[in-house]
């Protein structure tokens, strides 16, 4: 077994042993591969984090030679890498790339795949771990898994085999359960890595560190001190060219069911006994099980949906959702979704958790805000003050990664006047380095066999069980849905789910 090379450039990537690996990317010519996977592999190579013995096999329907695919990979890395590519490192990585063309449902392709993988092992004189990365449309997940099993590619003597599945993981609870069953017919659960790139973000991982490595927070992290929690994922862009996918999905499926539910579980989970993958995921699942799914009568009280209408973005007039190319006339698909949930356990009972996600909002922002209860009594006058506001801890996931704590401080002068101030920690200024891309961390964890940052089958199904009742009610309600102006903070209807004294943070 080889060890990761020491390199002072590595920031946030633990130097743990990585077994020699053959990575197979299904959908190797797709957008995800070009923009994320290939650049991530280059940056891992640049930082000495790839195993010394590593092979990449791209598989897609486009017909091209190994050299032609290597040039395609070079172009993608040159264009999308977060670091300026070094020719020596890049050339060394490209030498390890091979390409196989064919249809994902063609059994002969898997026979060729098996032969190439065996050939690579024989050349090295040892069995390599094998990772099958499904960077394809979800419709192919079950087919690929079944054909891998039919050709005995789900096992490899002397080495590990893993399969990586991209979101969306199902369209509803029933389809998620069906996909889980299809994957488990071929692979064991420990071999299945359901990837959610949000969990690879440094700031998301820092939620665990902030909570469990700093004693200052634990005494306050409960219903006795926290007034409410708020998680926001706002985008300033529209659907672009994704109408074909988005109009069948919507904000609730696309963002809330996976990304925001992941953030909620990390925010509310109990301390795990250890940071073993199953121990962490056990605690996350407990949070989801503690949230009671809404009844049909409750949905309109705790959930709001809306679509963006025409407006202004970046100083330009932009169309509304129904005017976007590819959107079905009269579509009721939501581009904005807001929910109020409650984690009904000893720690969080009575504390509302507000989730919201939307497109064409005022700005791009993903953040978690923990609002503490207001002080019970003010012993001094507030004349001339800017107001006493509750303390807030805000974790910004993107774009400006960091943590801030809102306090109340005295304004200098002879009078007792106060105003809110922020204490801030920013990744860029504190560490003077660029955070790794989420896919770098997640690909590396897959090669190491660390599933901590990946969703387990019961976790996926528990999240869908909470969202399904809302989807069913919305599907039965006729349109049109409420609208909000593009470039605004969202629909006024979102205020209706807030409890008295609570407010949405400004966008």
Catalytic residues: 259
Give alpha helix (H) positions in 213-273: 243-249, 251, 261-268
Give alpha helix (H) positions in 360-480: 427-431, 438-448, 457-476
Give alpha helix (H) positions in 81-201: 87-94, 107-124, 141-150, 173-184
Cβ–Cβ < 8 Å for 132, 163: yes
Q: What is the Cα–Cα distance from 388 to 121, expressed in whole angstroms?
A: 66
Per DSSP, the residues of 403-433 read EEEEEEEEPSSSS--EEEEEEEEEHHHHH-S
Closest by CA position to 228, among listed 330, 377, 61, 355: 355
CB burial of residue 258 (10 Å; 0-12, 13-18, 19+):
buried
Strands (E), 223-321: 226-234, 303-309, 311-313, 316-318
Cβ–Cβ < 8 Å for 318, 493: no
Torsion of CA 354, 358, 362, 364, to 10 degrees: 90
Give counts: helices (H), strands (E), the chain: 16, 17
- Other beta carbons less than 10 A from residue 111's beta carbon: 14
The residues that bridge with 407 in the sheet, in sequence order, are: 421
Whats the size of the chain, residue-wise?
507
Torsion of CA 426, 429, 433, 436, to 10 degrees: 10
Cβ–Cβ < 8 Å for 126, 55: no
- DSSP 8-state code for residue 78: H
- Other beta carbons less than 10 A from residue 463's beta carbon: 27
The residues that bridge with 284 in the sheet, in sequence order, are: none
Closest by CA position to 211, among listed 268, 255, 171, 261: 268
Question: What SS3 class is residue 66?
Answer: helix
């Amino acid at each position: 077994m080889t060890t990761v090379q020491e390199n002072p450039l590595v920031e946030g990537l633990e130097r743990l042993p990585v077994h020699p690996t053959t990575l197979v990317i299904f959908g190797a010519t797709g957008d995800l591969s070009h923009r994320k996977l290939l650049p991530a592999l280059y940056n891992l190579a640049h930082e000495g984090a790839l195993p010394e013995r590593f092979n990449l096999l791209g598989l897609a329907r486009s017909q091209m030679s190994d050299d032609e695919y290597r040039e395609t990979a070079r172009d993608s890395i040159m264009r999308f890498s977060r670091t300026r590519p070094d020719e020596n490192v890049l050339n060394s990585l490209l030498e390890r790339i091979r390409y196989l063309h064919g249809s994902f449902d063609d059994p002969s392709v898997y026979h060729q795949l098996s032969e190439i993988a065996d050939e690579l092992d024989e050349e090295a004189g040892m069995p390599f771990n094998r990772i099958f990365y499904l960077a394809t449309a979800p419709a192919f997940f079950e087919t690929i898994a079944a054909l891998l099993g039919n050709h005995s590619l789900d096992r490899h003597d002397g080495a590990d085999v893993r399969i990586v599945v991209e979101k969306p993981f199902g369209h509803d609870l029933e389809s998620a359960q069906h996909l889980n069953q299809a994957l488990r017919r071929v692979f064991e659960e420990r071999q299945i890595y359901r990837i959610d790139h949000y969990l690879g973000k440094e700031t998301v991982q820092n939620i665990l560190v902030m909570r469990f490595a700093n004693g200052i927070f634990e005494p306050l992290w409960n219903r006795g001190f926290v007034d409410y929690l708020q998680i926001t994922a706002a985008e300033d862009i529209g659907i672009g060219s994704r109408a074909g996918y988005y109009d069948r999905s919507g904000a609730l499926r696309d963002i809330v069911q996976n990304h925001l539910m992941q953030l909620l579980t990390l925010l509310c989970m109990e301390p795990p006994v250890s940071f073993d993958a199953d121990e962490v995921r056990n605690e996350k699942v407990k949070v989801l099980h503690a949230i009671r799914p809404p009844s049909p009568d409750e949905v309109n009280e705790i959930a709001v949906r809306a679509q963006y209408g025409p407006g202004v973005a970046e100083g330009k007039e932009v169309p509304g959702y129904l005017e976007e190319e590819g959107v079905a006339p009269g579509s009721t698909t939501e581009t904005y979704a807001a929910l109020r949930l409650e984690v009904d356990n000893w720690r969080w009972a009575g504390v509302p958790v507000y989730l919201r996600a939307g497109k064409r909002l005022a700005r791009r922002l993903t953040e978690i805000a923990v609002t503490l209860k207001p002080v019970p009594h003010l012993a001094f006058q507030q004349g001339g003050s800017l107001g006493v506001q509750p303390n807030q801890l805000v974790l910004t996931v993107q774009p400006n990664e960091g943590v801030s704590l809102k306090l109340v401080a005295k304004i200098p002068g002879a009078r007792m006047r106060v105003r809110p101030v922020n204490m801030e920690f920013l990744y860029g200024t504190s560490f003077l380095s660029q955070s790794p891309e989420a896919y770098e961390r997640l690909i590396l964890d897959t090669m190491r066999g660390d599933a901590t940052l990946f969703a387990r089958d019961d976790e996926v199904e528990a999240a869908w069980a909470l969202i399904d009742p809302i989807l069913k009610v919305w599907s039965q309600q006729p349109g049109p849905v409420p609208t909000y102006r593009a470039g605004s903070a969202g629909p006024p209807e979102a205020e209706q789910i807030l409890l008295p004294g609570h407010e949405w943070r400004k966008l």
